[in-house]
Amino acid sequence: MSTKKKELLADLLSCLSPLIQPITPAGGDVPRGVAKAIRRLAEQIQLQQAKLARREAKAGPQAARQRLTEELLGVVNTYLGEDAPADDRSADRLQQSAAELADKAAKLRARQEKSRAEQSLVPEEVASAAEGPATPPTPVPVRRSRKRPAANPG
């Protein structure tokens, strides 16, 4: 069993322990059926997490910007708490500001990734140019075969 799955099982067991405690004998293990159901639940959670990760990897920059916008709005709304704007106009402005900020952050992140990629290429190019052209292999002298006179059958 992988360590991630073990950690997930431990988390599930710790969360479900108050519910499992009445059916577990004193000092005993979790009943087999319950343990099996928790293992299956852990497997399903891992599958869903993997699917979500693949979907996010495929989604592209537009989905990343949308996700960042939603996260920013969540942070701002949490910060504002009860003071969050109730009217539609203020909520729309807040949405628009969060979208603009997410767009700028995504562009900045793309520029940083591009510059990192360019920087990682420069040392290799400089190193290969400093080495100079590869030296050609030394030629091997050609051995000439001697011609033997053909044996006369006669």
pLDDT of residue 52: 84
Domain shared by 110 and 78, yes or no: yes
Based on the fold, state whether residues 53 and 23 are members of the same structural domain. Answer: yes
Contacts of 46 (CB under 8 A, 6+ apart): 4, 5, 8
Is residue 140, in this structure, part of any structural domain at all? Answer: no
Query: Considering the domain boundaries, does residue 144 fall inside one?
Result: no
Q: Give the span between the Cα atoms of 69 and 77, in whole angstroms.
A: 12
pTM of the predicted model as reported, rounded to 2 decimal places: 0.43
pLDDT at residue 110, rounded to an integer: 83
Same domain, 68 and 124: yes
Predicted local confidence at residue 135, as pLDDT: 66
What residue numbers bound the domain in which 8 lies?
1-59
- The answer as to whether 12 is a domain residue is yes
Kindly state whether residues 110 and 81 are assigned to the same domain.
Answer: yes
Segments of the chain scoring below 70 in pLDDT = 122-137, 142, 144-145, 147-154
The closest alpha carbon to 46, from 3, 4, 1, belongs to 4
Structure tokens belonging to residue 66: 């949308």
Looking at the 3D structure of the chain, how many domains does it have? 2
Question: 59, 75, 107: which is the final residue of a domain?
Answer: 59
